[in-house]
Amino acid sequence: MNIHYLNLEENFTNQIKRYHEQYDKLFFITQNPILNQNPIINTIIHTDHHYICSDKEQCKSLEEYEKIIKFLSSKHCNKNSAIISIGGGTVTDLCGFVSSSYMRGIAHIAVPTTLLGMVDAAIGGKTALNIGQIRNLIGSYKNPDSLIIYNQFLHTLSKKDIINGYAEILKYALIMDEKLFIEIENNIDELLSSMNLDFMQSIIKKCIKHKLHIVEQDQHDQGIRNILNFGHTVGHALESCSDFKMSHGIAVFHGMRIASYLSYKKNNITMKDYNRIIKLIEKINLDKLQKMNHNKIMEFIRVDKKNINEKLNYILLKKIGSAYIEKNFDKENIKNALEIL
């Protein structure tokens, strides 16, 4: 996978021009809010080869997938064509699956426009669709052929978008980089403002490096890659319970709070370190959850992809900067811990 870190509009548009020379046709897939926030995108998708998909998680559906396949076919997309996905994690997830299955695989160029997409969602090759309220039930593994990190997009993001990305950045720090955790502690206000693009690009590069290091060891999620799901077992369940009204970042923050608490209860981390983690989570003014049905949450955890023979592989911390997979984890521990949310 080729990664291009770009910070000037001219560099961005020139890179798209190079793709026009490399492939016989480019097909741009994005969403209306992305177009409205980023005028530069309107300048590069000037052909009729673009598709506007549904907003948010609604685009990761079989119905949307079928519409895109029919669109590509009607425009004579072929094996020498490329899809360029421009948007957040939902768009890059959807387009990754489309590119892996259309004609048994065509090129995919990912252009994440959100912090979450830049540090996590567009990297690693996991592609997916949701089925009903169950996230990512259908999917495949296919890395983008190219990834463009255009940091000017960060200036278009809402506070909510920044928080979604911050959740994944904090995850990387907790599971594999104590130095990054300390850097976040010392620069949390700068991170949450995302105004210093040099600082943000440095953080983004570290996260990408960490994810690629894990993915290179375990492309198909059979072992160590599971640690990237820290906070996501409960997080995904909360998203599903809320019918995806709860953002991914907020859900993962709640999930990391539970996982950190259970790590403390197992005497893996000290009370001092647990409080350091909670302090960084509370920087986003995380509200207590409105009353949610704990049995319903547990039902979604029961169908989590990390279950093997109905036994849960759960990610806990050894310490700040190191995580491990606890096999056959007792789900009752999670149910009891939900009381702290």
* Helix or strand holding residue 296 (H, E): helix 294-302
Q: Is the pLDDT of residue 6 over 80?
A: yes
Q: Is the pLDDT of residue 305 over 70?
A: no
SS (HEC) of 234-256: HHHHHHHHCCCCCCHHHHHHHHH
Sequence-ordered strand ranges (E) for the chain: 2-6, 25-31, 50-53, 81-87, 107-112, 126-131, 134-141, 146-150, 307-308, 311-319, 322-329
Residue whose pair of structure tokens reads 């425009």 in the numeric block: 75
User: Contact at 8 Å (CB) between 149 and 204?
Assistant: yes
Ordered by where they begin, the domains of the chain are 2-156 (3.40.50.1970), 163-340 (1.20.1090.10)
The string of pLDDT tens digits covering residues 10-29 is: 999 999 999 999 999 999 99
Q: Please state which of the ranges 6-20, 68-82, 281-295 shows the lowest mean pLDDT.
A: 281-295
**At a CB cut-off of 8 Å and minimum separation 6, what does 15 contact?**
4, 6, 148
Residue 85, SS3? Answer: strand
Q: Is the pLDDT of residue 304 over 80?
A: no
Q: Nearest CA to 62 among 2, 120, 136?
A: 136
**At a CB cut-off of 8 Å and minimum separation 6, what does 254 contact?**
231, 234, 235, 238, 286, 289, 341
Q: Is the pLDDT of residue 276 over 80?
A: yes
Widest CA span in the chain: 60
Cα-Cα-Cα-Cα dihedral of 80, 208, 34, 26, to 10°? Answer: -10
The string of pLDDT tens digits covering residues 181-194 is: 999 999 999 999 98
Rounded distance between C-alpha atoms, residue 32 and residue 295, angstroms: 37
Average pLDDT over residues 297-311: 79
Q: Please state which of the ranges 6-20, 258-272, 281-295 shows the lowest mean pLDDT.
A: 281-295
Q: Is the pLDDT of residue 229 over 70?
A: yes
Q: Is the pLDDT of residue 289 over 90?
A: no
Q: Is the pLDDT of residue 42 over 70?
A: yes
pLDDT of the residue at 7: 92
Mean model confidence pLDDT for the chain: 93
The distance from CA 250 to its chain's CA centroid, rounded to whole angstroms, is: 13
pLDDT of the residue at 290: 74
pLDDT of the residue at 221: 84
DSSP category for residue 312: E
The string of pLDDT tens digits covering residues 47-69 is: 779 999 998 888 999 999 999 99
For 107-140, give the DSSP string: EEEEEE-SHHIIIIITSSSEEEEEETTEEEEEEE
pLDDT of the residue at 112: 96
User: Contact at 8 Å (CB) between 173 and 181?
Assistant: yes
User: Contact at 8 Å (CB) between 86 and 111?
Assistant: yes
**At a CB cut-off of 8 Å and minimum separation 6, what does 107 contact?**
23, 81, 82, 83, 99, 145
Q: Is the pLDDT of residue 309 over 70?
A: no
The string of pLDDT tens digits covering residues 108-166 is: 999 999 999 999 988 988 898 998 888 888 999 999 999 999 999 999 999 999 999 99
* Helix or strand holding residue 61 (H, E): none
Q: Is the pLDDT of residue 325 over 80?
A: yes
Average pLDDT over residues 312-321: 96
